[in-house]
Structure 1
Amino acid sequence: MYQSYYGLEEMPFNITPDPKFLYLSPTHQEALQHLLYGLQERKGFIVLVGEVGCGKTTLCRRLLNEIEDTHWDTALILNPRINETEMLKAILGELGEAPRDTGLHDLIAQMQSVLLQRIADGREIVLIIDEAQNLSFEVLEQIRLISNLETDKQKLLQIVLMGQPELKDILALPELRQLRQRILVHYELKPLTRHDVMHYIAHRLTLAGSEGRPFFTGWAARKIHRYSSGIPRIVNNVCDKALLASFIRESDEVSYWDVRRAIKDVKKLTF
């Protein structure tokens, strides 16, 4: 409703992980550099953790855009609640290969053959697993085993595990110490600061086509930060409803009171 009123080309506060709208706060910029460094230096295992809604998936999309059209082949696993055989088949499928409908041993042999051929062709391969805190111990152990695939000079597969803070606790388990020892790059995303939230709001409005309207007041931005604790997904939800409240008033200014009303609406949807 408010998009045409404010002359916006698209909705500025959708919660879909569109890398176009990624706001590279200092913590997001540093996280992206850690990911790129880990891949470029072939560190093997890379771990990125962050609270729900902190922007891990959007950052992942940005990473894929950064390495697109280069020498990287990517396998992105979004649903890790699978067993070892399903994981291997999913990785091969993501790489464009038809997995053999056979046992685990044959699938590992097929994967090694595929990876060796890709390396021989000048390609490098990265496996990215989102929501990695949902991986079972058996699948984590299988991932560790395939990470052992290597030539005399390099690993055949770079692996990025992205997950919520619980992933740290899982990786700290004594039975996963062999996997933990292979993690050479680790970064934890932090929430946005109050200063970041103000710039985040302006950033998304500008990319959506705003030419100065609507405008979030300083008190509105402070209220958003206080309620959201700097979590981008919550910021988006509140901003979307605050814009609607401002539109209903036919105002170009999103006020503290618009945000307060928006928060009340968001809380009604919280179970």
Structure 2
Amino acid sequence: MYESFYGFKSKPFQLNPDPTFYYGSRGHRRAMAYLEYGLHQSEGFIVITGDVGAGKTTLVRSLLQRLDSAKVVAAHLVSTQIDADDILRLVAASFGLPAKNVEKADLLLQLEAFLVKLTAGGKRALLIVDEAQNLTPRAVEELRMLSNFQLEDHALLQSFLVGQPEFRQTMQSEHMQQLRQRVIASYHLGPLDLAETRAYVEHRLGCVGWKTDPRFEPSAFDVIHAASGGIPRRINTLCDRVLLAGFLAEKHAVSATDVDDVVTEMRDESGSESVATRSGGAGINLASAGALSGLLGDPALAQRFAEIGAGYQASRLEVRIEQVERVLGALLGMAQERGASPNDDLRAEGRQGA
């Protein structure tokens, strides 16, 4: 939409992981070095973790592009909630082996024979498991067992486990001791700093033919970094909206105020959605008007409270649960002062409505 207005070849801030946009920040270069070190070692596990949107998948896809297919046969497995019964089948299928309706023992024999054949032919097998935090402990244990496959003194399979920070907690559990002994390197991918955020934005713009149109004022990057926390996916989402807003306003410069306006707009949208989600789309509906009338003994006050809730929704203000509970607490105090006796069911109804 805004691409032609600014002379871009394509969208610079798409959300789909695309290795052609890979930006080697200090953290990403270090994570890549760990992966390449793992390839050089040809054994054990490399573990890479990072927050949602930190660029883990883009990192992995960039690595896959660099691999020499004549030397390394790679399988990229994106897991969901996979248990031990399915993980081996998915691994086999990722390497192109038949896995449907195959017994576990036969599946292991097929995998071992395939890996031995690769090694004998001068190639190596690499298994990359993305979203590893969704694996059950039993599934992780099955992956560890695959690392036992050897030909003489050479490991037949190299594995990279990539996931969100909670996977590190999984690894620290008592029954993961044997896996931890097989991990030869581990790295956590953190957010970009301010300078890297600016370089990241300019890098992605450069990938689509940016020639300083629009021009980003230096202070704009301060707001982008503060609002996104240096997380690449959040930067993409914000900058895409900034460019759209600039196109709609026919602007060729992006200021801190422009970015801040978009941040405010996105926060308002998020607040509106969160209110609708918590209240079933009916504003701040702590309880029905009838329940509040009985609680307070004052139908007019209950109606006024309902109107205030509707007003919050109409103005798309962000309302947090704790704020709502404080309001409810004040109303309950008023009811007690009037001699009413609100019961626990009505209290619970109020919190559930929030």
Which category describes the TM-score, using the shorter chain as reference length?
A: over 0.9
Answer yes or no: is 1:164 the counterpart of 2:164.
yes
Range with greater deviation from structure 2 (157-166 or 84-93): 84-93
Matches within 5 A, 1:238-257: 238-257=238-257
Distance (whole Å) between structure 1 residues aligned to residue 76 and residue 68 of structure 2: 13
Matches within 5 A, 1:60-79: 60-79=60-79
Cα shift at 1:68 = 4.1
Which runs of 5 or more residues in structure 2 are unaligned?
275-354
Structure 1 consecutive aligned stretches of length 4 or more whose deviation exceeds 4 Å: none
DSSP 3-state at the match of 1:181: helix
**TM-score calculated relative to the size of structure 1:** 0.96
**TM-score calculated relative to the size of structure 2:** 0.74
Considering fraction of residues, name the structure with more helix: 2
Answer yes or no: is 1:225 the counterpart of 2:228.
no
Answer yes or no: is 1:145 the counterpart of 2:145.
yes
Give the corresponding residue for 1:97: 97
RMSD: 1.3
Distance (whole Å) between structure 2 residues aligned to residue 100 and residue 14 of structure 1: 36
Distance (whole Å) between structure 2 residues aligned to residue 70 and residue 44 of structure 1: 22
Distance (whole Å) between structure 2 residues aligned to residue 262 and residue 114 of structure 1: 53
Give the corresponding residue for 1:120: 120
Give the corresponding residue for 2:192: 192
CA contact under 8 A between 1:80 and 1:130: conserved in structure 2?
no
Give the corresponding residue for 2:6: 6
DSSP 3-state at the match of 2:52: coil
Q: 1:190 to 1:99 in 2, by over 3 A?
A: same
Range with greater deviation from structure 2 (261-270 or 104-113): 261-270
Which runs of 5 or more residues in structure 1 are unaligned?
none
Amino acid at match of 2:228: S
Q: 1:144 to 1:247 in 2, by over 3 A?
A: same
Cα shift at 1:100 = 5.8
Range with greater deviation from structure 2 (127-136 or 71-80): 71-80
Give the corresponding residue for 1:155: 155
Range with greater deviation from structure 2 (191-200 or 106-115): 106-115
The higher radius of gyration belongs to 2
Aligned pair count reads 271
Distance (whole Å) between structure 1 residues aligned to residue 259 and residue 198 of structure 2: 14
CA contact under 8 A between 1:72 and 1:124: conserved in structure 2?
yes
Structure with larger RCO (C-alpha < 8 A, sep 6+): 1
Cα shift at 1:102 = 2.5
Amino acid at match of 2:192: L
CA contact under 8 A between 2:43 and 2:157: conserved in structure 1?
no
